[in-house]
Amino acid sequence: PHKHPGTGWIEVIAGSMFSGKSEELIRRIRRAKIARQKVQVFKHKIDARYSADHIVSHSDMRHESIAVESAAEILARIEPGTEVVGIDEGQFFDNDLVDVANELARRGIRVIIAGLDQDYMGRPFEPMPQLLAIAEYITKTHAICVRCGQPANYSQRIAPVEGRVAVGAADLYEARCRRCFVPYA
């Protein structure tokens, strides 16, 4: 994306688990820093599985991040001069993240949000659908189906889990394509 200086916008990176969302977010953040832009990266406090103060990809790429309890806390922690805001695991936030993303973009910030677009039943996982609707730019990432090798768009739950998202999840889910995906009972 390349726009008038001072113009904000929203980019969403959405897909299944293992599809490379965090890698893509970290790649964009690193490039912004190469361009000497001031960057702040956030994640939700409940996502402390690999690190409390870094976002970490399944391939062990990492970038420092600020852990917050709510979308409102992101707004409160924006520093003067910040040009790019990255947010990982957007599905851990509630729908307030939509207003916060809009407000940051309105202030001229480039907002990049990565997150799961569907839960383990294949249901749209708010607030990601709402964010996809308001974003200027959308990237849909795909994993590789562990059953058949085709591009995978689903996160198959393979063990019992409390609630809609499991934290610390790598051994509880696997990537599956549409044909191989079976909603977990």
Binding residues for Zn ion, rule: CB under 5 A, are 145, 147-148, 150, 177, 180
Q: Give the nearest distance from C-beta 165 to ligand ADP in angstroms.
A: 12
Residues 145-164 that bind ligand ADP (CB under 6 A): 146
Q: What is the identity of the amino acid at 181?
A: F
3-state secondary structure of 98: helix
Of 62 and 147, which has the nearer Cβ to Zn ion?
147
Residues 56-95 that bind ligand ADP (CB under 6 A): 57-59
Q: Give the nearest distance from C-beta 111 to Zn ion in angstroms.
A: 33
Whole-number Å distance between alpha carbons of 150 and 73: 39
- 8 Å CB contact between 51 and 168: no
Whole-number Å distance between alpha carbons of 129 and 26: 22
Residue 136 annotated to the active site: no
Half-sphere exposure of 122 (CA within 13 A, CB side): 15
Q: Which residues lie near ligand ADP (CB under 6 A)?
A: 15, 17-23, 57-59, 141, 143-144, 146, 175
Catalytic site positions:
89
